[in-house]
Amino acid sequence: MSRILPYLLSGISVGGQYALISIGYTMVYGILRLINFAHGDIFTVAGLLMVYAAATMPLYISAPLVIILTIILGVLVEKVAYKPLRTAPRMSVMISAIGMSYLLQNTMWYLTGGLAKKYPTLPWISDKINVGGTTTSRVTLITPFLTVILVIFLVMLIKKTKIGMAMRAASRDFETAQLMGVKVDSVVSFTFIVGSGLAAVGSMLYFTNYATVTPVVGAMPGLKAFVAAVFGGIGSIPGAVIGGFIIGICESFIKGASWTTFSDAFTFGLLIVILGVKPTGLFGESLTEKV
């Protein structure tokens, strides 16, 4: 047990962070049918913003400020890069996302000079605690709980409110959704608000553990989170969360078993196997196209 526990803890913690990021992917995908490649970079920007904000102001101001700024950035990205392309071919929107990711990365690179910035220590949540004989920081324990609470809240929001139904309608057919009176732009903005907000929260938890922020640091967790979303069946929020935890925990155990060379490869391998068995992910709706 004492051998396994630390790996399990770190797996759950990383998994929770993946989960928070992957919700952003899955929601945007659910509605725009777009892999928002810039999402991982928005996550990184949130980290950098925190670096700068925490240098000049106390935490109780900087933390909410960073979340708000990240949300603004997320919505801005949508308005600039995706909204003008509503009627364009899907591939163009995808490219726009990749371009946006490039732009964010390169701008951060330019501003930071490509060097690692030290992430501020957030009091309380980065304190060390002792769980079952292993030392770990409090954030490790907080992450999964926070994730699950946020997700339950989100699922309720989407299931029980009109905006949830509007999102599902818009995801297939913008025009017809509009013909029902849905304000598609607001719905999309809402999606980005939620996604970016969660990415900002995720970034705080993530960087508290990992100390430094570089312009490309978001790329890998971004990709993993996306894989988590696909894994769970893209478009499904619970799927994304479960996918995130599975990937986080598997990764942690693989490293524990010293197959580190293949820890990333394993993630992707698992993905391919799952998709081979269930082509739309664990919880993805299988689309029957009637002919």
Ligand X SMILES: Nc1ncnc2c1ncn2[C@@H]1O[C@H](COP(=O)(O)OP(=O)(O)OP(=O)(O)O)[C@@H](O)[C@H]1O
Question: Please, which of residues 229-288 interact with ligand X by CB under 6 A?
Answer: 288
> Least distance from C-beta 166 to another protein, angstroms?
7
Do 118 and 212 contact (CB within 8 A), yes or no?
yes
Among 91, 123, 124, 133, binds another protein (CB under 8 A): 91
> Least distance from C-beta 232 to another protein, angstroms?
12
> Least distance from C-beta 186 to another protein, angstroms?
9
> Nearer Cβ to ligand X, position 162 or 290?
290
> Nearer Cβ to ligand X, position 88 or 149?
88
Please, what's the largest Cα pairwise distance for the chain? 61
Read off φ and ψ for residue 260, nearest 5 degrees: -55, -35
Contact status: 26 vs another protein (CB under 8 A): no
DSSP 18-30: HHHHHHHHHHHHH
Among 190, 226, 245, 283, binds another protein (CB under 8 A): 226
> Least distance from C-beta 235 to ligand X, angstroms?
20
Do 7 and 253 contact (CB within 8 A), yes or no?
yes
- The listed partner (ligand X, another protein, none) that binds 68, CB under 5 to 8 Å by sort, is none
The dihedral sign for the CA sequence 44, 203, 189, 85? positive
Cα separation, 141 vs 133, in Å, equals 14
Contact status: 106 vs another protein (CB under 8 A): yes
Structure tokens at 191: 């999606």
Cα separation, 21 vs 39, in Å, equals 8
Contact status: 217 vs another protein (CB under 8 A): yes
Task: For the segment 194-213, give every residue that binds another protein (CB under 8 A).
Answer: 206, 209-212
> Nearer Cβ to another protein, position 145 or 262?
262
Contact status: 219 vs another protein (CB under 8 A): yes
Do 81 and 99 contact (CB within 8 A), yes or no?
yes
Contact status: 290 vs ligand X (CB under 6 A): yes
Cα separation, 229 vs 238, in Å, equals 9
